[in-house]
């Protein structure tokens, strides 16, 4: 038999497949940041995940993203079940991340120096390949400190930090590990959570019955959710389990899943509470104060997530330019393309450097007041800038690939749809600016920590800009 080979069978001037690759070995900036920010003791553990993420998890991510979650409100007998079904790859991605410490490493290691930095590096690697699953991982990680301050919820905190993933719908007592979601915003308030109308009526002990709704209720198949509701003493934080101790479903209804621009592998829902049982977290009326630590951690993960999207977009642009020729040269050797790639590389490394520095501040916050002050203000500053830059950055990387960066077989369209999310989640740009102004007014030590970090003598132009900024911030109200 004669086999005819056509030109289409052997494509010329096309780059090889991007993966598998070692995301740790390929990223000198990440390796340097881990060492510089004090997490070298965890380097081997991070390196292992870099290999897993760049090979198996990268391959799994495409179907997890394409085959979106589906809400099943009833079973075939008509019983209400409120179950979200995911592609099997979603659960494999979650399992790998949790077993490697993406959700819990900070808390598994207790006060070990560098644990937050190491966990940040793991999150950065994971988000590069599958940002949708980063949402429940981030919320689980961020909720643990608040739960640990409530003795009655110690089991929840310990199992959220554990390296075990169990998606089965059973009570917490029957699980080795749990995941956590959050529900803060409502239709009428959005970021203004003090306008929330969901009501909490006291039952027995620290338990309450919640009636109301949440407009964005992400990762609705989590085992428990931190929610805000109006208790008799004011806005209060609660832990609401999906399953009660007897195995029955708690009294809330998933109304629908959000049809989102991106973030397709992750389910975001609208929910109504019909007397749902929940346990108080923190004091009545201190709901906003209770969630402040969570907000700082989730904002840090927004920074890391956007930095990760930048890194993955840059890696694809570099890979393409190193293997694709145009006008007699490899793209990487064309002067204009080299300029673009250099600009992208510098901004990508800067986003990572800032994110990892803030992770070190979070790491040291309990031991060092200046680091705590820096973490307080730098999470808002970093989230504002890095997350706002990500969409334009990813689009620039797409241009490096031309049409190959616009087709759905590439990861770049997924990154482009994902990129605006972190600017919106946990407060959009104006909210971050208001938070910075609030910190400057109420916590003046944050400004001193910020300026101490910038230092002086590095370059005359920087010194002049810092002096101008310091003068401007003598009256923060005039900076608006």
CA distance 353 to 359: 10
Does 54 reside within a domain? yes
Q: Is residue 4 part of a domain?
A: no
The residue to which tokens 């989640």 are assigned: 425
Predicted local distance difference test score (pLDDT) of residue 4: 64
Tell me, yes or no, whether 9 lies in a domain: no
Domain annotation covers residue 23: no
**Judgement on whether residues 283 and 302 belong to the same structural domain of the protein:** no
Model pLDDT for residues 15-45, shown as the tens digit of each residue: 999 999 999 999 999 999 999 999 999 999 9
In this structure, the number of other CB atoms found within 10 A of the CB of residue 120 comes to: 31
Q: Output the pLDDT for position 189.
A: 76
pLDDT digits (tens, 9 = 90+) for 262-314: 999 999 999 999 999 999 999 999 999 898 879 999 999 999 999 999 999 99
CA 45 to chain CA mean position, Å: 20
How far is the CA of 87 from the CAs of 130, 161, 416, in angstroms?
A: 13, 24, 22
Does the N-terminal peptide bond of residue 20 adopt cis geometry, omega within 30 degrees of 0? yes
User: Considering the chain, what is the average pLDDT of its residues?
Assistant: 95
pLDDT per residue over 313-369, tens digit each?
A: 999 999 999 999 999 999 999 999 999 999 999 999 999 999 999 999 999 998 999
Q: Rounded to an integer, what distance in angstroms lies between the CA atom of residue 388 and that of residue 383?
A: 8
For residues 188 and 156, state if they share a domain.
no
Residue 426 covered by a domain: yes
Assign residue 327 the CATH number of its domain.
1.20.140.10
Ramachandran angles phi, psi of 77, nearest 5°: -95, 0
Instruction: List, in order, residues 6 or more apart from 259 with CB less than 8 Å away.
Output: none
Using alpha carbons, select from 386, 363, 347 the residue that is nearest to residue 121.
363
> pLDDT at residue 480 above 60?
no
| pLDDT over 90 at 119, yes or no | yes
**Do 458 and 310 fall within a single domain?**
yes
């Amino acid at each position: 038999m004669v086999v005819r080979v056509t030109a289409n069978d052997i494509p010329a001037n096309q780059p090889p497949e991007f993966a598998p690759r070692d995301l740790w070995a390929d990223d000198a900036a990440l390796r340097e940041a881990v060492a510089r920010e004090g997490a070298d003791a965890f380097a081997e553990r991070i390196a292992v995940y870099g290999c897993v993420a760049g090979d198996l998890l990268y391959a799994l991510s495409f179907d997890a993203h394409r085959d979106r979650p589906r809400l099943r409100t009833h079973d075939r007998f008509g019983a209400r079940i409120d179950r979200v079904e995911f592609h099997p790859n979603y659960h494999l991605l979650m399992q790998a991340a949790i077993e490697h410490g993406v959700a819990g490493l900070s808390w598994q290691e207790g006060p070990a120096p560098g644990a937050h930095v190491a966990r940040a590096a793991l999150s950065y690697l994971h988000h590069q390949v599958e940002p949708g699953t980063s949402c429940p991982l981030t919320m689980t990680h961020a909720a643990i400190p608040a739960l640990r301050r409530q003795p009655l919820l110690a089991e929840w905190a310990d199992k959220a930090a554990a390296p075990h993933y169990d998606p089965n719908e059973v009570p917490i007592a029957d699980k080795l590990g749990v995941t956590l979601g959050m529900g803060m915003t409502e239709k009428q308030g959005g970021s203004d959570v003090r306008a929330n109308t969901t009501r909490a009526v006291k039952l027995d002990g620290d338990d309450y019955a919640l009636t109301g709704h949440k407009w964005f209720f992400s990762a609705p198949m989590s085992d428990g959710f931190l929610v805000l509701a109006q208790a008799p003493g004011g806005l209060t934080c609660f832990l609401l389990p999906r399953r009660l101790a007897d195995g029955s479903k708690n009294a809330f209804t998933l109304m629908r899943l959000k049809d989102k621009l991106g973030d397709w592998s992750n389910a975001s829902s609208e929910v109504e509470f019909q007397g749902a049982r929940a346990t108080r977290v923190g004091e009545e009326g201190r709901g906003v104060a209770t969630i402040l630590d969570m907000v700082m951690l989730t904002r840090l993960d927004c920074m890391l997530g956007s930095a990760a999207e930048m890194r993955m977009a840059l890696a694809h642009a570099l890979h393409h330019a190193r293997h694709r020729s145009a006008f007699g040269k490899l793209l990487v050797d064309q002067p204009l393309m080299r300029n673009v790639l250099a600009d992208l590389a510098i901004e990508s490394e800067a986003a990572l450097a800032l994110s990892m520095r803030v992770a070190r501040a979070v790491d040291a916050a309990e031991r060092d007041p200046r680091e705590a002050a820096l973490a307080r203000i730098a999470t808002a500053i970093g989230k504002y800038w890095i997350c706002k830059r990500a969409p334009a950055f990813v689009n620039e990387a797409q241009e490096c690939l031309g049409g190959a960066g616009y087709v759905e077989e590439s990861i770049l369209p997924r990154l482009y749809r994902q990129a605006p999310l972190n600017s919106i989640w946990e407060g959009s740009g104006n909210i971050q600016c208001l938070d910075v102004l609030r910190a400057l007014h109420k916590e003046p030590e944050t400004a001193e920590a910020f300026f101490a970090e910038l230092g002086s003598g590095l370059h005359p132009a920087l010194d002049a800009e810092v002096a101008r900024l310091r003068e401007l911030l003598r009256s923060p109200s005039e900076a608006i």
